[in-house]
Amino acid sequence: MKENNINFVPSPEMFKKVDHDKLDAETIRRPTIKYWADVWRRLKNNKLAMAGLVIIILMVIFAIVGPMISGRTYEQMDMLNTNQRPNAENWFGTDSLGRDLFTRVTYGARYSLSIGFVAAFINITVGVLYGGIAGMNSGKIDTVMMRIAEIIYSIPYLLIVILLSVVFSKKGSGTSFGVIIFALTLSGWIPTAILVRGQVLSLKESEYVMAARSMGAKSNWILFKHILPNTLGPILVNLTLIIPRAIFSEATLSFVSLGLQDPLPSLGNLANSGIEVLAIGMGYQILMPGLMISLIMFGFNVLGDGLRDALDPRLRK
């Protein structure tokens, strides 16, 4: 077998020394991105989550600006224009009492969103404080606090609302905004407390917490300065779930006449009023409240999913 004759003649250019600047090799080519800036960057790349954020912003603007556009009040009646279909004067039509549905839907969205945001704020605040204190005080204090929370959580909130509705109905005031908030927050903070407690238990043995303790820092300082800021991600994701849950709970209660009472509008009792006239061909009266509830739920759910992915460090690139 003959060998291939390869004529290889090395040239000086092949062994030319490449200039290499050590300082240039250590230069950071990519700018440093802070954690929250990177979270926002990844959230912006999630088109579905951004669509949900846009929907939420539009719903809030609609609830704030809508009554100003209509120029009417939610209890203003016109008995000469009852059950009018959508037209140039009444964009969403009118109900059986001649009230403008556009105005009532905007006020309903305002009340429903207000209940959702206020209930979520109270649930988050109470849950974070309760769960943080329970997690920092392991032992008997933690056991007693969590058993109390479990006892409260075992009481169905629907039963609480029914009892409150009966009590306030006897007084002639009906189920008010404050009663609904109280019913939704009486046990709604407990899932947040359980979440925060678990995060605190896992973080309080970290090296930076031990270093803070060795320097004489007190437990309250460590909790609010070092531990809770590191649990902000799960808390924000939980917040995007609490708000639509509170809105949907209020809509459900109002739909079965246990929430806000007419003439005070909410998306739930507007849907209840619309379903009563659905059989006689007035489906438009349930269409817009149902659409508003669906858009709000969709917006918060997809935003929560996108925020959860953006906050996950395992998905960071």
Q: Residue 135: what pLDDT?
A: 85
Q: What is the DSSP string of 147-176?
A: HHHHHHHTS-HHHHHHHHHHHHHHTT--S-
CATH 1.10.3720.10 fits 33-67+91-315, yes or no: yes
Q: Residue 23: what pLDDT?
A: 47
Q: Which residues contact 135 (CB under 8 A, 6 or more apart)?
A: 142, 196, 197, 198, 199, 200, 201, 204
In the chain, domain spans: 33-67+91-315
Enter the pTM of the model: 0.79
- What are the per-10-residue average pLDDT scores of the chain (317 residues)? 60 66 54 72 87 92 85 80 81 83 88 89 91 85 88 80 68 67 83 88 81 80 81 85 86 77 80 79 83 90 86 62
